[in-house]
Amino acid sequence: MSLLESPLYQEIQYRASKAVIRGIRIMPYRAAIGLGRLIGLAGWLLDPFHRKTVQIQMRAAFGDSYRPGIDRRVFMNHGDILVDTVRYAYMKDPQLRERIVIEGQEHLDKALARGKGLMMITGHIGNWEILSHLPRLLGIRFCVMANIRKDPRLESLVDEIRSRSGATILPPKGKALMLIRELKRGNTIGMIVDQRGKRSESLFCDFFSLPAPTNPAPAFIAVKGDAVILPVHAVKQNGRYLIRFFEPREASSFGNGHDAIRGLSRFMQSWIESVIRQYPDQWFWLHCRWTRRSEMRRLIRAGEDFTAFVLSQAEKASPNS
């Protein structure tokens, strides 16, 4: 049994999580945000692996336009995510509406009017958890899939927060078939689409001019469910969240079979990249998007060229990508 699986560690994690959630709820908002950003800054100082991961990936993505210091803001933004995920869950509906601005609702109305299953796609940009409050804001029903934590007490804390949003949370078991079924029934689902997935199942998509191994499951589900695709994000601006809907696309417009999955996956990654370029410090750069974590650790230890490694792994996988 590892340390992370020990009863003592789980007890400490549960009690600490419960105390943090309670503290965030009772503290004045500005004080809670300040504390969250301080925790993020501590992570930037004390977690060299993720700090270097952010720096390496951002330099590769932005080239000469990368500016030192933005990596620090990436860490601090996670403090906002933690605080706002908790605080917004316990807000009354009128207060929630005061803190969220919605743009592009005509795109949502157009997508719903087509009478098909709707897949709202987003990435780890801004605060994706805020989007789960769309049922409270707009009266629409949609479901999302979430992993279940091994510690049932910790899961109960997370479930208490998520259940207040109004979204239907589906268990991860049988995920693809369950989501396809929802789409074929004409329902709405939400999916985060900027992840690697299993290497054996990944295809490579251009992401900041670098080939990124990409999970094809969102595109597969959309194609099989004959969905309408609606990109949406929730980014923080001037202390409030901007939820913006974009022009919907029919999954069927990308063709059929593997070519459709490849084309739709590339469309999804291209859209996410365009949003990240607008809000570069609000994306989840701590995630190893182009490599596995073990590979990133090796690259950092050996001082190897990140871009060269990313290109070489895509060349090796090219027959299957």
Residue 59 CA to its chain's centroid (Å) = 21
Give the separation between CA 86 and CA 235, rounded to whole angstroms.
16
**Residue 294 clears pLDDT 80, i.e. is over it:** yes
Structural domain of residue 161, as residue ranges?
3-320
> Could you count the other beta carbons within 10 Å of the beta carbon of residue 280?
19
| Greatest distance between any 2 Cα atoms in the chain | 56
pLDDT computed for residue 154 by the predictor: 84
Q: Find, among 158, 159, 221, the residue nearest to 189 by Cα.
A: 221
Interval 297-320 mean pLDDT? 90
* Backbone region of residue 239 per phi and psi (left: phi > 0; alpha: psi in -120 to 50; beta: other values): left
- We report the CATH number of the domain holding residue 253 as 3.40.1130
Interval 283-312 mean pLDDT? 97
pLDDT computed for residue 214 by the predictor: 95
Q: What is the mean pLDDT of the chain?
A: 92
In terms of DSSP bridges, do strands 118-122 and 228-237 run parallel, antiparallel, or are they unpaired? parallel
Report the number of distinct structural domains present in the chain: 1
Interval 30-45 mean pLDDT? 96
In this prediction the pTM is 0.92
Q: Which of 57-71, 171-185, 299-313 has the lowest mean pLDDT?
A: 171-185
Token pair 């929730």 is at which residue?
A: 234
Q: pLDDT above 70 covers what percent of the chain?
A: 96
pLDDT computed for residue 4 by the predictor: 55
Contacts of 1 (CB under 8 A, 6+ apart): none
121-166 pLDDT, tens digit each: 999 999 999 999 999 999 998 888 777 777 888 888 888 888 888 8
